[in-house]
Amino acid sequence: MANSPAPSADHLGQKLYEGKAKIIYATDNPEVLITYFKDDATAFNAQKRGQILNKGVINCKITAYLYALLEKQGIATHLLETTSEREQRIKRVQIVPLEVVVRNLAAGSLCKQTGIALGTKLEPSLVEFYYKNDDLGDPLLTRDRIFAMGLTSPERLTELTQKAEAINHILSQFFTRCGITLVDFKLEFGTDSAGTLLLADEISPDTCRLWDTSQPDERQRVMDKDRFRQDLGNVAAGYQAVLERIAAQLENPA
Ligand code: TMP
Ligand code: ASP
C-alpha cells in the first residue's frame, strides 16, 4: 500500500521523532515543533500494521476541531495552528510518560482483564494510567507504582486526573450532540518550558472508542480504530463519518 504523501518539506526542519502515527519535526523556533499525521495504523503494540486511506488528514482535522473546542472551555493544549492538511504547529513540551485513559463504558482491555461485560456503564467513569513504554507493552500502573518509578508527583497526578475528568465532561457532551457515544479515550500531556501542563498528542478515532449511538448492531456501531483492530472493514469510512458529524455539529450547533 502507498505511504502517506510526503510532508511539505519547504518549511520543515530536522525530523526529531517518528512514531507509529505521527512524525515530529523541528522548526527554527526551539519552542515550536511541527507534527505530521501519517496514514499508518498499528495495533497490539505494532504487531498488526496497515494503512487507513487519508487517516492522517482526517485525524489532523478532528484533533484541530476538538482541541479548539477544549481550548474554548479552558483546557490548555499544545496546538498552535493547523498549517496544512496533515500538519500542525505545536508547542514543544516534555511529555509525561503516562497514557491517561478515561472509560465511560467498558470495552477493550478493561473487558479482557476484568470480565466486565462490553458496554457496561462505569459510574463514576474510570481514569487509569498506563506507562508509555512500547518495550514493556504500555502496562497499567497503580498510584504507588507511578510514585515508586518517579514518573510524576502526587500533585501532578491529581492535576492529570482532574484535567482528564474535565476533558471527558466536555467531550462526552459534545459527542452526544453528534449522535456518538464516547466509550473511552486516551490522552497524553506534557509540560512547556514554564512547567505548565498542556494537553498534547491528538484526540481522534485512533485514540478514542466512538460508537454510533443510534446503531444497535455491535459491529456496525463502531466508528473508530476498533474497525482496524478487529478487521470490521470500512475503516476509513468510520473515521470520515466521525469527522463529518463533528464538522456538522460545530457548523450548526443543535
Ligand atoms: P484499551 O481498552 O485497549 O486499553 O484502550 C483504551 C483506550 O485507549 C481506547 O480508546 C484506545 C486508546 N488507546 C490508544 O490511544 N493507544 C493505545 O496504544 C492503546 C492500547 C489504547
Ligand atoms: N497504537 C497502539 C499500537 O500499535 C495500540 C492500539 O491502538 O491498539 O501499538
Count of structural domains, the chain: 2
The CA distance from 247 to 65, in Å, is: 8
* Protein residue with its CA nearest to atom 5 in ligand 2: 43
Same-domain pairing of 102 and 126: yes
Which pLDDT tens digit goes with each residue over 180-229?
Answer: 999 999 999 999 999 999 999 999 999 999 999 999 999 999 999 999 99
Average pLDDT, stretch 148-168? 98
Using one digit for the tens of pLDDT, what is the confidence trace for 42-83?
A: 999 999 999 999 999 999 999 999 999 999 999 999 999 999
Task: Give the residues surrounding ligand 2 with Cβ less than 6 Å away.
Answer: 20, 42-46, 225, 229
Q: Mean pLDDT score of the chain, rounded to an integer?
A: 96
> Same domain for 87 and 105?
no
Does a structural domain hold residue 23?
yes
Q: Which domain holds residue 54?
A: 9-93
- What pLDDT shows up at residue 1? 44
* Per-residue cell: 252: 450548526
**Same domain for 214 and 108:** yes
pLDDT band at residue 147, thresholds of 50, 70 and 90?
very high
Q: Which of 108, 70, 112, 64 is nearest to 90 (CA)?
A: 64
What residue ranges in 47-173 does DSSP mark as E strands?
48-51, 79-84, 87-91, 94-95, 98-105, 121-131
Residue 158 is classified by DSSP as H
**Same domain for 113 and 229?**
yes
In a domain, 84, yes or no: yes
Residues 179 and 213 in one domain: yes
Check: CB of residue 160 under 8 Å from CB of residue 28: no
Say how many Å lie between the CA of residue 30 and the centre of ligand 1.
Answer: 31
Q: What pLDDT shows up at residue 254? A: 73
For residues 63 and 126, state if they share a domain.
no
Examine the domain organization and report whether 53 and 14 are in the same domain: yes
Residue 246 inside a domain? The answer is no
